[in-house]
A and B are shown apart, each in its own frame.
Chain A
Amino acid sequence: MVAAMSNSAAVAASTWVTTFLERLPAPAGELEAVQWRGREALSRQPLPSRRQEDWRFTDLAPLTALAPVLAPSSAQVGWPEPAADVFRLWLDAPDDLLNGQSLPAGLSILSSDEVQQALGHTLAACNCEQHWPVELNQASATRVLALRVSGAVVPTLELVSQAAEDGVMRPVRVLLLLEEKASLKVLQIQLGSGCSLSSLVMEAHLGRESTLRHGLLALGEGQACFLGHLAVEQEPRSQLESVWASHGWALSRFEPRVVQVDGEATTSLKALQLADGQQLVDTHSRVEFRGPEGQLDQLHKAIADDRGRSVFNGAVRVPRAAQRTNASQLSRNLLLSNQARIDTKPELEIVADDVRCAHGATVSRLQTDELFYLQSRGLSASVAAGLLKRGFCEEVLRALPAAAAAWRPLQRMLGED
């Protein structure tokens, strides 16, 4: 059953884009050409609608209720001190991103020629360069954090963006090129509150035998919306471990897409998403093996409470070239209220014959016997439920890079802070 978009809704949607584009400053700076192209595309492309399979469960109303403009930021609200082994960059800093700091050994800024060459390459390889949220980011982002990674980088690179002012949009664009055998830990923190829009597009190219440990903690409040794309290309024997957690956004849509260009790489994806109140949290992931002997280990967990809604679509593509792929995907969901809703769907396209692909999805309530066991030891029903929820979340959160601890992810995810 698909809700047809009425004419007036279509008109309202295109008005939203027109207004959005009109309020953007003229394209300028290192991404000027990209901005032009993004604006062009947005003015031609209709807003995603629920008639499209990929947006079937995801109503953009919370987004179109916003009237976001680009505005300089001054806010760093509720940030912990960076830990000793953390190199923090504030991605909304009004002027220079590095702000006088020198990069840790192993990281260097790409030249503008290199950026020209590389930017968008991985998005295209992952087939998402024309996705609407990507175009929205390209239309507005005025700069990109573009880094080359050589050797083993010791400190965790922490990238923070915060949209705390009503009516702002914060586009974040990141490009990482990991050379052969390089390794890096990245922790991204995306914070949003009020009527704001956070937009993230991150590309990473993992050379042979390189390792990227990536964590994304996306925490919203109120009417704030989050749209994110993560595109990763993996060369053989590279390792990607990506862990993301999202809660609190009126609308959160995250699309991690990974391509193992010649197989033989290892991909681990772990996610935790929470929706309560009227929130909608949506993850559309896609992993594609273009060569043999690739591995995927994916765990997606979600909790939906109140009238919250959680959507997960996990595509895995194993074409004929990808023999001896070993992939597993598990979606585990907790449904805590009768009005909440969970839609979870594996989407396996397996053409190769010699592969191991396991997948499973469960949706359950809190277990009566678990609750009773805790209550029989003196814990109130609500404390018992809280402990069970924490237990459910912990499995994913403890896989975040260690630097995430300073942000108290469990307390923030569960709204205990």
Chain B
Amino acid sequence: MIRPDADTLLEIVDLQARVEDKPILKGVNLTIKAGEIHAVMGRNGSGKSTLSKVLAGHPAYTVTGGSVRYRGADLLDLEPEQRARLGLFLGFQYPVEIPGVSNLEFLRVSTNARRMEKGEEELDTFAFEDLVRERLQVVQMDPAFLERSVNEGFSGGEKKRNEILQMALLDPLVAILDETDSGLDIDALRIVAGGVNHLASPENATLLITHYQRLLDVITPDYVHVMAGGRILRTGGKELALELEDRGYDWVDQELAVLEVA
């Protein structure tokens, strides 16, 4: 929902980043306000996941220019865990398996880290179990997954549901979901999309990275951005996604070529 008077949550200005010596982000501009849902699309390798990881603070990426303000503060100055505690959430394209670490314990520690930051009390094991059981319903996940190691041996779709479960527990202000719809069967897609819609509110915002219109049929974006060559090349409304579906990315490549010559 677009409201002119909404607070700005995230303001990315001319963001540039590289991995090792390879420049990947080459000047990303994007402003996200409370209540909004943004979709980012673009060819494989255009830099979408890199943008999400730079925002979350992955150490492999070096920011070489530009700025990111998160609710007025300099985001790039914060450690990854501080960003998370302050309400920035990244749903990973490839959630990481962590053998030997109990999913339940992990969820409890992370939920409490976020709650403490919000000035809420820490939840003990029992109170947390109640909360987690309630939130499991958002993604219709089997409680048996709580007893297993984090993501270990989870199927692709189960990992994605586990990401949305974490989002439901962490109550983020800005949620970046990197291809959370990939690898989901039709029912799971509906459940996950339902979860995202359920968690969306006028106070928070969502950035969906996706390749597919079918997700945007269920979650209606306020803005659609097209990424190419490490930049956001075009921004429009939900009809831009339909246009991409129709025309493919060739025209984007042509626009990019013009830009890179200039």
- Residues of chain A having any CB pair with chain B under 8 Å: 368-370, 372-381, 383-384, 387-388, 390-395
Contact = CB atoms under 8 A, between A and B. Distances in A.
Given A387-B101, A391-B101, A391-B149, A369 B81 contact: no
A384 B96 CA distance: 13
Contact of B114 (A372, A378, A388): A378
B164 to A, nearest CB: 13
Nearest to B166: A377
Contacts of A375: 57, 79-81, 84
Given A368-B59, A368-B60, A376 B100 contact: no
A372 B56 CA distance: 9
B170 interface: yes
B248 interface: no
Interface centre among A374, A376, A381, A392, by most B CB within 10 Å? A376
Contacts of A393: 100
B100 A377 contact: no
Nearest to A373: B96
B167 to A, nearest CB: 10
Contacts of B60: 368
Nearest to B87: A378
Given A375-B57, A376-B92, A388-B101, 5 more contacts: A378-B81, A379-B110, A391-B98, A391-B101, A393-B100
Nearest to B95: A373
B96 A377 contact: no
Contact of A376 (B80, B105, B117): B80
B99 interface: yes
A361 to B, nearest CB: 18
A390 B96 contact: no
A387 B117 CA distance: 21
Contact of A377 (B99, B110, B149): B110
B99 A391 contact: yes
A388 B98 contact: yes
Interface in B90-123: 90, 92, 95-96, 98-101, 105-106, 109-110, 113-114, 117
B98 A392 contact: no
A377 B109 CA distance: 9
10 contacts: A369-B96, A372-B57, A373-B96, A374-B106, A375-B79, A376-B81, A378-B109, A378-B110, A387-B98, A391-B149
B79 A390 contact: no
A377 B57 CA distance: 12
A395 B106 CA distance: 17
A379 B110 CA distance: 6
Contact of A372 (B58, B99, B109, B113): B58
A395 B59 contact: no
